[in-house]
Copies of this chain bind each other. A is one copy, B any other.
Amino acid sequence: MGTTKTDLFTAKQNEIAILAKAMGHPARVAIIEYLLKADKCICGDIVNELPLAQPTVSQHLKELKNAGIIKGNIEGNAICYCINEKTFHILKDYFTKTATVLKQQCC
């Protein structure tokens, strides 16, 4: 096993799970945090900012990109990574919507 049975769940459930999972690592949270406050979002800067080796950061960037949370634009021999607003809003909307339903709880 070790494999998630995605076929047993709805597309929406899987979508949220994929996005949440991508945010489920402090390095990737740190990357998002950096992208938010940085004027320029160059990969090399992210590597310098994070306390992890370059291949590790590259891998984390790849996972965020695969989930659709960030996107990368080639700029010369560097790459400019940015947050994908559209995808990020899916997460925001999900938690906002979910939190508002949290009224009457039985326990």
Interface residues of A (CB under 8 A from B): 4-6, 8-10, 13-14, 16-18, 20-30, 32-33, 36-37, 39-41, 51-52, 71-73, 80-83, 85, 88-89, 91-92, 95-96, 98-99, 101-102, 105-107
Contact = CB atoms under 8 A, between A and B. Distances in A.
The number of times this chain is found in the oligomer is 2
B107 A80 contact: yes
A107 B91 contact: no
A5 B22 CA distance: 16
A95 B92 contact: yes
Contact of A20 (B13, B20, B39, B106): B20
Contacts of A91: 95
A87 to B, nearest CB: 11
A63 B88 CA distance: 24
A9 B29 contact: yes
